[in-house]
Chain A
Amino acid sequence: MKTTLKILKYEFHNVIRNRWMLAYALFFLVISEALFQFGGDASKVMLSLMNVTLLIIPLVSLVFGTMYAYNSREFIELLLSQPVDRKWLFVGMHAGLALPLALAFVIGVTMPFVIHGVGEAGNTPTVVALIGAGIFLTLIFVALALLIAVVNEDKGRGFGVSILLWLFFAVIYDGLILLATLTFREYPMEQPVIVMTLFNPIDLARIALMLQFDISALMGYTGAVFEEFFGSVTGMVVSFGSLVVWTAFPFLLALRRFIQKDF
């Protein structure tokens, strides 16, 4: 565990000084501020910001994480030649990569809300939910990025897989759900759709946030079904539990492959 904290300390210093990290924080800062300037009240800003967050965080976490892991390969070899346990080295690497990314997002999004006094409008729980969803997505997609880099030896192939994975979760998966509901429109699809939602972390985060915004009524009958399930205590436990599983599963899979990997 001490090894993890040591690795985390230096990896964090290295990643946080990366100019892309500054650009990432500035991106959220500029977008949030621009939405306040042009969009009006905090709830509209959060709704627009939710859509940006759900697309950008998985993309940046996957691409930046994959590239970072490939570019660190020789240094990982050097660290593995030191008297350290592979397991704790990997945990430190994941945290050292995910924490600066999450921090850049939190700072970029939070500052405009603080400046414009979001707390006064009673929107604090929604902002906290947005930040929580962003942190979860960062942890999940950084773990997936490390898994891609550990499994694929070739950097170009790894980069391609990370882009494809983002496309799948951000775009294709919803298309498949739509296709399934159209194909089986004669049958009650509400329950299967809820189950399918659990297999996509972006959809999970989206639904959790939409319930916070209380706009599920705009989605008609499906929205009512989602609200009934995900708005209940069981639904909240299931959705939160699914996000935790989504955080742990790729991480543990990547850890297992990292421990067995030849460098």
Chain B
Amino acid sequence: MSDARPNSYSLWRHQQRLAPYLFVSPFLILFCVFGIYPIVKSLYLAFHTTNGPRSVVFTGLDNFRFLLQDPDFYAAVYNTGVFALFSVFLQLPLSLGLALLLNARWLKGRDTFRFVFFSPNLVGQVFVGVLASVIFVPRFGLVPRFLHWAMRTSIDMNLLGNPDLVMPALVGTALWMYVGYNCIYFLAALQSVDRELYEAAAVDGANAWHQFWHVTVPAIKPVALIVVIMSTLGSFQLFELPFVMMGGPGPNKAGLTIVMYLYQRGFDIGNLGYASTIGWTLALIVLVISMVQVRLSGAVRGHA
């Protein structure tokens, strides 16, 4: 009995010391296996050429050198960049406009509208992609027929077959999918703006535009910045939508995105080394953009 107390005390202390590690270990193990290991492995592969399932040959910076001269990579960066620009400069103002409408006091059935606008996001990119590929069918699809009726465009307008029209079709589909989604963020931000600020502004003689510019915009700026960052990052990860809509990069690689290019090189050709190089370059691009945005958001916060 006399020995039991120090033993149980030491066990208790031991347990106390180990407990935090035990609690975090499931996450740590999973993170190391599915997070750290793939990152390290892909960094290793980025400096190698994989040739078939087993052969890995060290090629130094060859993959990066090739990437810098690879017209397909530049096409992918260009397409992704254009899509990201539209996401930020078209999608977000539309989302904000919609949120302002939904936030209007006179609007009845706000929840229903909110659900309707958000619903494309519930079904996911694959479903939306399949649906879009059907409604864009030339001559017999809903969109070409509507455009022909409304704007006298050619009924044979091949939105997914004409390299010049692929990006507008992609952007249009993404708008349909994400405007409602981003609108929810803006709506939440708008609903948290203190009504008294508007009343005070009105007393000071501010019209609707002044109220929007001097009250609403500063109040929702933090949320807007989050939405901008998320939309940009999401745009740089674009893959499923064009992949499903066109079964690949589309005509003349007009729908080729960076992630799709990575997938093609890794899984269609089997060069995981070059795919890793593309992946790391994408990570670098996203890092730079994020840093710029974080700096901007810091500046804005400082200004506020």
Bound pair: A and B? Answer: no
* B residues neighboring A (CB under 8 Å): none
